[in-house]
Amino acid sequence: MHRNLAAPAAAVAALTLCIGSAFAAGEPVIGLITKTETNPFFVKMKEGATAEAKAKGAKLLSGAGKADGDNAGQVTAMENMIAAGAKTILITPSDSKAIIPAIKKAQEKGVMVIALDSPTDPADATDALFATDNYKAGVLIGEYAKVALAGKPAKIVTLDLFPGHPVGAQRHNGFLQGFGLPSNDAKNNELAKPAEVVCSADSFGDRAKGQTAMENCLQKAPDVNLVYTINEPAAAGAYNALKKAGKEKNVIIVSVDGGCEGVENVGKGVIAATSQQYPLKMASMGVAAGVDYAKTGKKVSGYTDTGVTLIAAKPVPGVQSVDVKTGLSMCWGKK
């Protein structure tokens, strides 16, 4: 007789506990989905998100795709997080178009979705975007390069990402704009090519491929004096190629990213100037917005620039920059 009551009694007790804890919890649940787990850029993002979540008393769920381009992995992560109670999803989309149906489904469930670092296509598919202004990042290094070149006729080599990528286009076109050359605007995905650009090649953001691209461009334009690179690994590869040709002292290399390795390279003189971006800030702003939404039901919207700073070892007049030491204190990646 007693045993028959024990089971249902235990079930009622457990249920009460569950409901009780659900009411007691109340902490906002926020999901962060990056492209991969291992890229130091995203590692830094996760750091920022975790710190902000702890500070604000929110619960952070994190996940990622297996590799750059793994859309299915991100979709699965999103579904799991929403099932676990996440009301805000922060995502760096691997595939800016393919992720949209999953985002729509989430939004229908009342979940706020914020894109970090790169937009979806179209950008208004997410509630908001916290990202670097990649065009501005390019403008800053363009301005620096113009002054650093000190009036010499510019012979520019651009080492880009690969054709069609919006970030690659923005940084490239911004650089040319900042330098004062005819360029395309921030919405244009085509790479501008004024006459001063004597060679363009694709580096895929990779060190070895950046070296190959630079070597080939050196063959075409041995008198190059300025190299724009899409990111710091490509810049390191370009430097290697220049060094092998004995030309590294006569060429200025500029880049974008602000990772710790890259900033160290600015300190070593490999890169003259780089625009630093702030993955940590993107993530922490995202978490703050998520907490806000959970508490007040107010969503963020639109594009918020998470800032970009020019880092240069040798400052030039008229262009604002910070030194390497400051750059290292704000950099992402392992020091």
Mask for 186-215, x = binds other proteins (CB under 8 A)? -------------xxxx-x-xxx--xxx-x
Residues between 306 and 335 with contacts to other proteins, criterion CB under 8 A:
333-334
Q: Does 162 bind other proteins (CB under 8 A)?
A: yes
Q: Pick between residue 237 and residue 286 the one whose CB is nearest to other proteins.
A: 237
Distance CA 191, CA 172 (A): 7
- Residue 257 CB, shortest distance to other proteins, in Å, is 13
Q: Which is nearer to other proteins, 120 or 158 (CB)?
A: 158
Q: What is the Cα–Cα distance from 85 to 28, expressed in whole angstroms?
A: 9
* CA atoms lying within 13 Å on the CB side of residue 87: 19
Query: Could you tell me how many residues make up the chain?
Result: 335
The DSSP result for 79-116, as a single string, is HHHHHTT-SEEEE--SSTTTTHHHHHHHHHTT-EEEEE
Total residues binding other proteins (CB under 8 A): 31
List the x/- string, 264-303, binding to other proteins by CB under 8 A.
----------------------------------------
- Of 194, 178, 198, the closest CA to residue 186 belongs to 178
229 vs 247: CA distance, rounded Å:
17
Least Å distance, CB 7 to other proteins, is 45
Please identify, using beta-carbon distances, which residue of 89 and 192 lies nearer to other proteins: 192
State the nearest-atom distance from the C-beta of 6 to other proteins, in Å.
Answer: 48
Do the Cβ atoms of 10 and 40 come closer than 8 Å? no
| Rounded (5°) CA angle 234-236-240 | 115
Nearer to other proteins, 32 or 201 (CB): 201
Name which of 146 and 193 has its Cβ closer to other proteins.
193
Cβ closest to other proteins, residue 217 vs residue 291 = 217
Cα(323)–Cα(314) distance, rounded to whole angstroms? 8
- Cβ(39)–Cβ(46) below 8 Å: no
Minimum separation from the CB atom of position 215 to other proteins (A): 5
Binding other proteins (rule: CB under 8 A), the pick from 163, 182, 269, 297 is: 163
Edge-to-edge order in the sheet of strand 128-131: 59-64, 29-34, 88-91, 112-116, 128-131, 302-305
Q: Which is nearer to other proteins, 129 or 283 (CB)?
A: 283
In the complex, the smallest distance separating the C-beta of residue 116 from other proteins, rounded to whole angstroms, is 19
Kind plus residue range of the DSSP H or E element containing 257: strand 252-257
In whole angstroms, give the CA distance from residue 231 to residue 82. 34
Subset of residues 212 to 271 that bind other proteins, contact rule: CB under 8 A: 212-213, 215-217, 219-220, 233, 236-237, 240, 261
Instruction: Kindly identify the residues of this chain, within the stretch 16-75, that bind other proteins according to CB under 8 A.
Output: 38-40, 43, 66-67
The CB-of-163 to other proteins minimum distance in angstroms stands at: 5
Least CB distance from residue 235 to other proteins, whole Å?
12
What phi, psi does 88 have (nearest 5°)? -130, 135
Which structure tokens are listed for 98?
A: 């393919």
Name the nearest CA neighbour of 258 among 266, 250, 268, 246.
266
- The tokens describing 272, both together, are 């003259």
Q: Are 71 and 98 in contact (CB under 8 A)?
A: yes
CB of 211 to other proteins, least distance (A): 6
Nearer to other proteins, 147 or 208 (CB): 208
DSSP, res 125: G
Least separation in angstroms between CB 278 and other proteins:
18
The residue ranges that bind other proteins (CB under 8 A) are 38-40, 43, 66-67, 162-163, 199-202, 204, 206-208, 211-213, 215-217, 219-220, 233, 236-237, 240, 261, 333-334
